[in-house]
Amino acid sequence: MIGAGNDGQFRKLAQMLDKPELADDPRFRTNKDRVANKAALEAELRVLTADRDGESFSIELMKNGVPSGAVLEVPDVLEHPHTTHRGMIWEKDGFRNVGNPVKLSRTPAAIRTKPRKFGTDTRAVLKERGFADAEIDALVADGVALVDVRKA
């Protein structure tokens, strides 16, 4: 994820991608231009970043004043040194996950329960929203609404 939100950061990004002329391209010269030509810019950046390692490139960008961070899969996040350093891992009843990133000293986040199984509350939520049992059954039968198969 690259957050080059101003013209100076974008110019640095273009230089670091070995394509400084990108910052002078009329389609991308200002933030307004970049927003108006978002699809074209994303296509350019996709090609220029395809072979780069997200973790090391994001660190290099940050050192040069361009906000960024690697997009990681959940197992990688769980093992990442920064996640460990921030005390972000929580476990409850055999479930392990990443916790709340916000750290407040007087009102710290607390994990009370692990997430319920996907679909556990589908029927109750639809009923609360005014659906009749027959309508809910039809939605489930059509695969539109998913329920916990152990309870279906």
Could you give the CA distance from residue 129 to residue 8 in angstroms, rounded to a whole number?
49
Q: For the whole model, what pTM was predicted?
A: 0.64
pLDDT tens sequence across 5-34: 899 999 999 999 999 999 999 999 999 999
Within 10 A of 66 (CB to CB), how many other CB atoms are there?
A: 23
Measuring CA to CA, which residue among 117, 108, 85, 111 is closest to residue 99? 111
pLDDT tens sequence across 119-148: 999 999 999 999 999 999 999 999 999 998
Within 10 A of 27 (CB to CB), how many other CB atoms are there?
A: 13
**40 and 26 co-located in one domain:** yes
pLDDT at 150: 64
Structure confidence at residue 152 as a pLDDT band (50, 70, 90): very low
CB 49 within 8 A of CB 61: no
**131 and 120 co-located in one domain:** yes
**123 and 107 co-located in one domain:** no
pLDDT tens sequence across 50-106: 999 999 999 999 999 999 999 999 899 999 998 999 888 988 888 889 888 888 999
Could you give the CA distance from residue 127 to residue 117 in angstroms, rounded to a whole number?
18
Total structural domains within the chain: 3
The whole domain housing 78 covers 73-114
pLDDT at 115: 85
Question: Quick check: 151 pLDDT over 70?
Answer: no
Question: Quick check: 35 pLDDT over 80?
Answer: yes
**86 and 52 co-located in one domain:** no
Tokens, residue 28: 């991308």
Is position 1 within any domain? Answer: no
Could you give the CA distance from residue 84 to residue 98 in angstroms, rounded to a whole number?
10
Tokens, residue 132: 């009749």
Could you give the CA distance from residue 106 to residue 101 in angstroms, rounded to a whole number?
15
Amino acid at 6: N
Could you give the CA distance from residue 114 to residue 42 in angstroms, rounded to a whole number?
37
